[in-house]
Structures are given as C-alpha cells and as structure tokens.
C-alpha cells in the first residue's frame, strides 16, 4: 500500500507487528530521524531546503519555475517519491509549489503531468508527476488533464550528462485526445535542462495549445 507522507514501518502480517507499525514514529526521508506524522521531512531538513527565487527561468525555451533546488533533502524526498513508494510526499511537494509560486501562475490554466514511460509506469505503479499534479490541482483549484504519452526506448535520465539530455530527451512525446486547453502548465518532480519539457511543449503546441509553461518541485542548478 502506498506510504503517505512519512515513512511508517510496514506491518508484517501479525497483530503485534501491525500495532508496532501504528505506534512507531514516522521517520524523515532525508536524515532518517523522527518527523511529525503527516510530514515527509523533519523540521531540520525542511529548514535546510535551498529556496529558489520566485521568478521563473527559461529552460530550453520553456518558462519554468520550482520552489527549491534539487539538492540535499529535496533530492532525498524526490528519490523517496520516485523509487521508494512515498506517494504521499507528492502533497508536500504540491504544498511548496502552491504556496510559493509566482502570483497568478495557476489562474485559468490546466495542469498536465509530464508522462512516464509505460514500462516504468508498470513497474512503479504510478507516475510521480501525475501524483504531484493531482495534489496541486486540489490546492489551486486547477483542472488536471493527463493527456501526454511517452514512447520510444525506456532509458533513464539519471546519470546522463546535461549536454546529452538537451540533445536527446528520453522517449517521444505525443498528445492523447483532441480537445486541449489554450493555457497549460506542465508538472514534474524535477527539471534539469528542460529538454523533456520542451518535447512536451512541442507536442501540446502542435495539438493546439497556445501558452505552455512548467512547474516542478525542484530544479537542478547550473553546473
């Protein structure tokens, strides 16, 4: 069963282990120390997040914004969401995005999650970008439309050089459906070079969208 926000210890099937899982304190996904129930990070790790400026940046011709840098506790939290089943962390990420976004960023827009390759979706069981988008839609009262599909080879972006990411984003992006909104904000967990965002934007614009921007929980700073 997906974990919500903090890392509760899993039950082992017996009554005693179930009670132990309920009584055990939640743990921080970054430092492994105690955290408040309902919070994926402890107070200290939340305070260590590298906050970014409220102004958006341009990445591969896409206007993008994220509240924190992809480092330290933010990197650990993204890893927990992507690889360790901490789906509840998506709401904490959405809360950071909604509370700190540039004024009017979500007015009259439709949120579109960046797609996950079908093979990864099958193995992971969920798209982390879609989880963030759903939580963000609830917090901002914005519509969520999961209309992008990724094809091609299922190659991970992890470990690829920035120049390689720019030159060849992983997978081909296409639009599923015919009626698209004119104003779209793409949603992802992390943005690096913006190559994937650019591929998503190109597909949306070709299908009729006029204004495409992007948000993410974290952004990799230039190296």
CA–chain centroid gap for 81, Å, is 8
Q: For residues 172 and 152, what is the distance between their CA atoms, to the nearest angstrom?
A: 6
Structure confidence at residue 169 as a pLDDT band (50, 70, 90):
low
Structure confidence at residue 156 as a pLDDT band (50, 70, 90):
low
Q: What's the mean pLDDT in 156-184? A: 69
Q: For residues 195 and 165, what is the distance between their CA atoms, to the nearest angstrom?
A: 6
Q: For residues 42 and 63, what is the distance between their CA atoms, to the nearest angstrom?
A: 31
pLDDT for the residue numbered 121: 85
pLDDT for the residue numbered 171: 67
Where does 53-194 have alpha helices with state H?
72-83, 89-100, 118-124, 128-140, 162-167
- Mapped to the 3 state alphabet, what secondary structure does 74-114 carry? HHHHHHHHHHCCCCCHHHHHHHHHHHHCCCCCCCCCEEEEC
Least confident of 9-23, 49-63, 153-167: 9-23
pLDDT for the residue numbered 111: 98
Which part of the chain is CATH 3.40.50? Answer: 50-219
Q: Which CATH architecture has domain 50-219?
A: 3-Layer(aba) Sandwich (3.40)
pLDDT for the residue numbered 155: 54
Structure confidence at residue 152 as a pLDDT band (50, 70, 90):
low
- Retrieve residue 196's tokens: 């994937």
Is the pLDDT at 97 greater than 90, yes or no? yes
Burial class (CB in 10 A: 0-12, 13-18, 19+), 212: buried
Q: For residues 180 and 57, what is the distance between their CA atoms, to the nearest angstrom?
A: 25
CB count, 10 Å around CB of 175? 18
Q: For residues 207 and 219, what is the distance between their CA atoms, to the nearest angstrom?
A: 27
pLDDT tens, 204-222?
A: 999 999 999 999 999 998 7
Is the pLDDT at 161 greater than 70, yes or no? no
Q: For residues 34 and 84, what is the distance between their CA atoms, to the nearest angstrom?
A: 18
Q: E strand or H helix at 213, and its extent? A: strand 211-219
Q: For residues 182 and 128, what is the distance between their CA atoms, to the nearest angstrom?
A: 24
Residues 6 or more apart whose CB falls under 8 angstroms from that of 164 comprise none
Q: What's the mean pLDDT in 36-40? A: 87
């Amino acid at each position: 069963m997906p974990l919500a926000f903090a890392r509760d210890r899993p039950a082992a099937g017996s009554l005693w282990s179930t009670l132990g899982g309920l009584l055990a304190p939640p743990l921080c996904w970054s430092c492994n120390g105690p955290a408040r129930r309902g919070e994926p990070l402890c107070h200290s790790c939340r305070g260590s997040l590298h906050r970014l400026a409220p102004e958006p940046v341009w990445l591969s011709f896409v206007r993008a914004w994220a509240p924190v840098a992809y480092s330290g506790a933010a990197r650990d939290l993204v890893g927990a969401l992507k690889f360790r089943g901490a789906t509840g962390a998506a709401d904490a990420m959405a809360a950071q995005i909604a509370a700190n976004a540039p004024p009017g960023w979500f007015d009259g827009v439709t949120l579109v999650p960046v797609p996950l390759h079908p093979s990864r979706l099958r193995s992971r069981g969920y798209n982390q970008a879609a989880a963030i988008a759903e939580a963000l839609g609830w917090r901002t009262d914005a519509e969520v439309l999961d209309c992008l599909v990724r094809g091609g080879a299922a190659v991970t972006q992890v470990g690829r050089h920035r120049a390689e990411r720019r030159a060849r984003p992983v997978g081909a992006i296409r639009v599923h459906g015919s009626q698209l909104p004119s104003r779209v904000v793409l949603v992802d967990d992390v943005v690096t070079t913006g190559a994937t965002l650019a591929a998503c934007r190109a597909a949306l614009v070709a299908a009729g969208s006029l204004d495409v921007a992007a948000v993410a929980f974290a952004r990799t700073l230039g190296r």
